[in-house]
Amino acid sequence: MPTQPYDVYLIDISYFSGKLESYLRYKGIPFRAIYPDDRMLLREVYRHTGLMKVPAVRTPEGQWLRDTTPMIEWLESRHPQPAVFPSDPALLFLSQLLEDYADEWLWRPAMYYRWEFTPDRVLNRRRAAREILMSWPLPSAWMGLYFAHRQRRIFVHGDGVNTDTIPHVEFTYLNCLDALESILADRPYLTGKNPTLVDFAFMGPMFRHFSIDPTPARIMRDRSPGVYAWVARLWNARALQSSRTLHLPDTAFTHPGWQYFWREIENVYLPYLHANARAFQIKQSRFDFALPMDANVIYRRLPVYAYRVWCREVLRRKYNELPGPAHKKLKRLAPTSLLSMLMADADVSSELDADYSLPLAPRTTQPDWWHRLLIFLTGTPRDMPERARSIAARAKNR
């Protein structure tokens, strides 16, 4: 285990930076926080990871890591004490299922509240201009305005959010708050007395978005003060035990508050993952998704995400690899219909396993000025090594 610190590239307004940073702080893993501007993102992060995204990590040995889900899994194998992964395979699988939901399905309401409401949009465009967009030879106010416009266009209006779907987007946040509030009423952390993977998963949206952006933060303080307190408690948490094994009781996920998430994952999130995978398989770039429980709510022209095909692929693989006793326990802890929904439809390969195998293979992707402009105008590929590779190829061939 290295004693030298990891270099961790973070942005203070980043969804996933908050998730990773709170994990590192709790574990006591030594790290040096680096807050890159857009020049550093291109010349260092993009060059070595293939994506201009944070968080990214450079290990003491000079290797690079990206994407918080495989990143935390890799770090747990290298820094097993104190464990945050449950030792029980069934409870670990439920934790990873909740992590995927928090990472991917709460992304839309987080972006909606940040970029659709004027106070939130103004605050974050100014922060982006001041903290990230410093190398462009244009006034920072102009850069911030364009950045906010781009984010709203891609991640709000371009992600199916309109007058018909806004009520569902808002209910997703409100119902999540209510469920978490009920869980935290009788425990300091989501699965008991100590933080586990599930806490860090929900920390992504709850910390740097919902508890800080003005509109959702006011809602959280008024509606779910226990969640607001949990965010601060988790940020300040430090491990007091050094066990390599995390024993959770089976009751960790039997609290009634978890029933909301099982229903939401079964009835909304997993059907969405299947629809996205089907669209990917037939090479569509966009698709419509009607809520199975309410056909009047239709998210239209959703972008097809290869990354979320990979998420589905990994969840199904992990489920299939569980030992027999874990399958039996899952049937006691989670609705059988949820597990059936997970395995519904055919397997679809994203062909992204190699892209998220850590540490990353060495690379020296060096963007030229055209590539840099293209990424700024069209957005950093969130998905998608595929699109990043195609952009890089076009830039290289110019």
In a domain, 1, yes or no: no
Q: How much is the pLDDT for 52?
A: 84
How many domains, in total, are found in the chain? 1
SS3 content of the chain, % helix, strand, coil (to 5): 60, 10, 30
What is the pairing mode between strands 294-303 and 286-291? antiparallel
- Tell me the pLDDT of the chain averaged across its residues: 92
Helix 306-320 / helix 270-281 crossing angle, nearest 10 deg: 120
In a domain, 171, yes or no: yes
In a domain, 78, yes or no: yes
- pTM recorded for the entire structure: 0.94
CATH assignment of the domain containing 197: 1.20.1050.130
Q: Which residues in the chain land under pLDDT 50? A: 385-388, 390-398
In a domain, 141, yes or no: no
Q: How much is the pLDDT for 391?
A: 42
Give every CB contact of residue 222 below 8 A, 6+ residues apart in sequence: none
In a domain, 180, yes or no: yes
Over its C-alpha atoms, the chain yields an Rg (Å, rounded) of 20
In a domain, 340, yes or no: yes
Q: How much is the pLDDT for 240?
A: 78
What is the pairing mode between strands 64-66 and 56-58? antiparallel
Q: How much is the pLDDT for 397?
A: 42
In a domain, 134, yes or no: no
Give every CB contact of residue 275 below 8 A, 6+ residues apart in sequence: 287, 289
Among 68, 10, 65, 5, CA closest to 35: 10
Please tell me what DSSP assigns to residue 39: H
Does residue 159 contact residue 111 with C-beta atoms inside 8 Å?
yes
In a domain, 20, yes or no: yes
Q: How much is the pLDDT for 396?
A: 45
Q: Output the CA–CA distances (angstroms, integers) from residue 342 to 107, 279, 318, 338, 396, in the order listed.
A: 20, 17, 11, 6, 40
Q: What is the domain extent for residue 57?
A: 6-114+159-397
Phi, psi (rounded to 5 degrees) for 34 = -120, 125
